[in-house]
A and B are shown apart, each in its own frame.
Chain A
Amino acid sequence: AVALEHSDLERHQVDMMRQQRRLWVEGRFCDVALRSRDGKEHRAHASVLCAASTFFDSLLGGSFLEADQVQLGQPVEVAASDATVHALLEYIYGGQPEVPWEDSIELLRLADAYHLPALAAAA
């Protein structure tokens, strides 16, 4: 057997993240929709959300009502404003969102509840 070693693993990781983001921006292969309080839907990749947070892992992991909704293509309700949900996803996909002052507290609460400690620290 031959053990293959990455000649530049860090670069590979950065590139993978960038491509994930491109797919998200282009809206390809998205399999989850999050509906914010004001009724707007935000599409995303289940695999990326589960990787980003154990909260999403539990939510989409298959034992709860939401997982069935996702299976049926229905959106998942998120108790937050449109701007907050967008900022959350932007952050998960490696962007640097600008958040209006009035939404920042809500984002902070969400980051905490959704097990995204780095976002909580950033906000």
Chain B
Amino acid sequence: MSAKPVAKGDAIELNLETMTVEQGLELIEKERVQPLLAYLRTGKFENKTNMTFMKAYSVVVQFGDQQQHSFKLYSYYKKVISDYCKDAMAQLQPLAGEDLLNALAQLWEKNTILVFWMQRVFQYLDRFFTKSSTEYPELFKAAVQAFSEHVFSKLKARCVDAMVAQVNRERDGTDIDQDVMRRLVEMLCTVGDTGPKVVKQKDGADKNAADRLVWQSQARGVYKTDFESKLLTTSSEYYRSKVAGWTAAYSCPQFLLEIQRRLDDEESRLSRYLDSTSEKELKTVVQKELILNTAKGLVEMSTGAQAMLTNRRYDELKLMYRIFKREPTMLPHIITAMEPYIETRARGVVEDPQMIDSPAAYTEKVLELKKEVDDMVASCFESDTGFQKGRNRGLEAVLNKDTRCAKYLALFCDLQLKKGLKGRNEDEVQTLVNQVVSLFAHLKDKDIFLDIYKSALSRRLLNKLSVSNDAEDCFITKLKVECGQQSIQKLASMFTDMALSDQLQEEYMKNAHHGSPGGVVHEVRVLQTNAWPEKADDVPIIPCPEMTTCITAYEAFYNSKHNGRKLRWIYNMGSVELKCHGMARPHLLVVSAYQCLCLVLFNQRQQVSLREICEATKLPEEECRRQVTSLTVSRHKVLLHDATGKDLGSETKLQVNDKFTNEKIKVAVSLIKKEEKAETTALAEAPVERKHVIDAAIVRIMKSRNKLEHNSLLDEVFRQCTLFKPQPAQIKSQIEHLIEREFLKRDDANRSIYLYLP
């Protein structure tokens, strides 16, 4: 069988055996290259060739194995492309600007088609000839080199300038031919590349989409060096001059909108025709001009951040934030404007004279403001941590000037739990608790809040004033999260006491007397000594016989349950219902235990003097006068007196007002206010307690460390005191105090080091 390859065609018979390389090339020239060049000139195949790819390829394979023939094939390949480029160049030479770009893009496209077809026919050369040679690059690369030599290198500067000018024209709003730009960018990425390649791709996902020839480059050719650098400097200049114009013409919001529009525009340009590798560099340059160089000025404009905050232009603030976020180092400019704004707003509430004496109104306003700024930080600034910190600084600077906020917040809680929350559903309670606790987190005097909260809580629990146990629980749980188990322990144990007392009371009612020894129904609360703020009476009060019966009965019951525990009775917290018969009609008087002791004296005598009351009950005179006077005021004139004016003297005689009447049968007698002493003692109390807290902290720290330097000790103490911010001077004096009491001593060698004395 013969091994002679003979290709059969429809029209042309090839006999490769007898053909010379010149004949072969002539055939390719005539049958493939000429029709192709004609197609590129006219856009259609004039004389449709009958020569198949197979035949042309066979010719190349036939001669491609022999070095001297391969070179001829290679030279021919290069010549076809070079000649095509040279011819085209003659027409491009006189052109400039947009015309040049259009013509060049068109040439690039046609050259691509030519190279694609030629490479396919001659690709056998890449198998051996170009591979084993350092002198002759691969077919694609050789083609690009020809284009570069005859076209690109002669037009480079003109082309790049025209392209950059086109970009600027588009920035100014002119429509430009993006397809041309896309092709030229491809050209820049290909020319000078180390391994360019043409591939055929579908233009879209559709099956019927047109095929498109695209170049793939390895290192983006000369795009970066020759084009991108020029584009970057031009962009920088362009925006610098624009910004200068806008500064004079625009208000801050207009300016921001313009920046946003420009940034979007640049981004879309990257995806439309620039190479994606330019993204980082171009963004850096553009943002430098548009954001870095403008941010501070924008914030400080008269229509800037301050005005937006004051006029609550949240959309504009949001826009400003979103733009500045691209350059995060610029965000502090907004924060610097926001902080004093929040301070001013807070001062507006804190210094409002109308609310100085109204805890409820004050706290409501503060909570409202807190919610407003929280919402603002969330919606405008995406709850950015920097902004949250700024907000906290702003609020805390004003609210923590004195302890009023802590006190009023605690009082506000009391009011809410006594009245405000009545009839609210669970969600509303939750919302309020969350608001209160989030404000609480800002306070530096947390201990003062907790003190007042505690005494209010004890009053609510003992007098059953609380509207909802769930709400109470809710507060305690949230506070625990905020300041830790330890600080809340006492509050929590108050609830335990209440629950235990309820149980005890239930059992007590099951006794033979059914909880009413001597015919007096009574209820007892047993409280742990240290958990509650209540203090027992300083002086031994003498209870009336009826009370004594109850006390004896309960103590007997209690001792049968818990051996060895001693109950101390706190009369001043008790309240009594008295049935009164000697009046216009029978009344039930709800009075304090002290008042009860006073009133029962009138069971024996018609007239009693104040001094006699004091002697019989052992009440301190001051307190006794207050209790009795409360019974003589015009609102509840239970007792009549013979003093002139309102003030009772110690010899003033009192007697029951037998004409006393009230529309209700049950009358609650309210006590007149104690003199102002109470306020001041409460205030003084907290600092005393703080001393102990600091002492305890110092001792705890020194016990574990044994030896510590002064400043590190201060740091540790600051870290441990979470409920308030101790003053360094205060810590110092406590250290001195502890040295005096021989818990610590100074190191002999270094005076600033303390040693723990076990």
A interface residues, Cβ below 8 angstroms from B? 37, 54-55, 58-59, 61-66, 76-81, 102-103, 105-106, 109, 112-113, 115
Contact = CB atoms under 8 A, between A and B. Distances in A.
B54 interface: yes
6 contacts: A61-B120, A65-B52, A77-B7, A77-B52, A113-B58, A115-B123
A9 to B, nearest CB: 26
B420 interface: no
Interface of B: 1, 3, 5-9, 49-54, 57-58, 61, 116-117, 120, 123-124, 127, 200, 211
B735 to A, nearest CB: 59
A25 to B, nearest CB: 26
Contacts of A58: 53, 57, 120, 123
A102 B3 CA distance: 9
Contact of A105 (B3, B54, B211): B3
Contacts of B7: 77, 79
User: Top 8 nearest A-B pairs by Cβ distance?
Assistant: A64-B53, A58-B120, A113-B61, A65-B52, A79-B5, A79-B7, A102-B1, A106-B3
Nearest to A69: B52
B211 A65 contact: no
B54 A66 contact: yes
A59 B58 CA distance: 12
Contacts of B5: 79-80, 109
Contacts of B58: 79, 113
Contacts of A63: 53, 116-117, 120
Contacts of A61: 120, 200
Contacts of A78: 54
A95 B527 CA distance: 95
A79 B200 contact: no
A14 to B, nearest CB: 28
A51 B6 CA distance: 26
A110 B127 CA distance: 14
B555 to A, nearest CB: 73
A79 B5 CA distance: 6
Contact of A59 (B54, B127, B211): B54
B127 to A, nearest CB: 7
Contact of A65 (B6, B53, B61, B116): B53
B448 to A, nearest CB: 53
A62 B57 CA distance: 15
Contacts of B1: 81, 102-103
A77 B57 CA distance: 13
A15 B123 CA distance: 32
Given A54-B123, A109-B5, A62 B211 contact: yes
Contacts of B52: 64-66, 77
A6 B9 CA distance: 48
Contacts of B211: 62
Contacts of A66: 52-54
